[in-house]
Amino acid sequence: MNSEILTATRLIGKSEGSVIKSDVLPNEIEGVIIEYISVRGANQITEYPQPDQYYVLLSLKGEAQLNIRGGKNEFNSNFIVRIPYNEQFNLQVEKGKEFHYLSLRIQLNNSDLNLISQSPEEHSYLYIKALSDCPVYTEEIKSSKTTNRMILPVGLVQGFAWDLLKLPDLIQ
């Protein structure tokens, strides 16, 4: 698997309200579109429902407010969020602040959509968790110094699971 270095300095010299979006590892994971998004406040990014996609957000640096269904959630560095299936949401960054995050859009096939329709309640709640609170596991084939974390449990997003090996600083 390829890797890519993300930098938090890309907003230097940019004015308030600036947004920079760039693709990350295009076509590396089939059916997953990854964007690195950097926002300098005061700004708001709104994402509209896409019935053939699931949204997962991974905060990298800074802070924002995640607004969904009238609720307001603080969204700080090193958190993962699974947006409820087919829901509109927005991220609001205050004036003078920056927020950097990864947006993963998981493409759903007909089988995925069928499974979601059979248990809509399992796909209708907001999952938000600090990476440090995600379950740790070990593997016999890896060093005992290696920390693995399951940051997106199997089944939370149909057809997709994600873990981090040795929880590194994700952004430089």
Residue 79 in tokens: 């958190």
pLDDT recorded at residue 131: 87
pLDDT recorded at residue 165: 42
- Domain boundaries, given as residue ranges, for the chain: 19-133
Distance set, CA 170 to CA 68, 132, 137, 141, 152 (Å): 26, 13, 20, 24, 16
Q: What is the DSSP letter of 110?
A: H
Q: What residue spans of the chain are helical by DSSP H?
A: 110-118
CATH number among 2.30.29.30, 3.90.1150.10, 1.20.210.10, 2.60.120.10, domain 19-133: 2.60.120.10
Asked whether the bond before 8 is cis by omega within 30 degrees of 0, the reply is: no
pLDDT recorded at residue 17: 94
* 63 within 8 A of 75, measured Cβ to Cβ: yes
pLDDT recorded at residue 138: 78
Q: What angle do CA 50, 121, 151 make, to 5 degrees?
A: 75
pLDDT recorded at residue 93: 97
pLDDT in tens, the chain (172 residues): 677 888 888 999 999 999 999 999 898 888 899 999 999 999 999 999 999 999 999 999 999 999 999 999 999 888 999 999 999 999 999 999 999 999 999 999 999 899 999 999 999 999 999 988 888 887 788 777 777 788 887 778 876 765 444 344 455 4
CA 103/CA 109 separation, integer angstroms: 19
Nearest to 39 by CA among 105, 106, 104, 96: 96
Residue 69 in tokens: 């269904």
- The predicted model scores a pTM of 0.87
Q: What is the DSSP letter of 63?
A: E
pLDDT recorded at residue 159: 67
pLDDT recorded at residue 8: 85
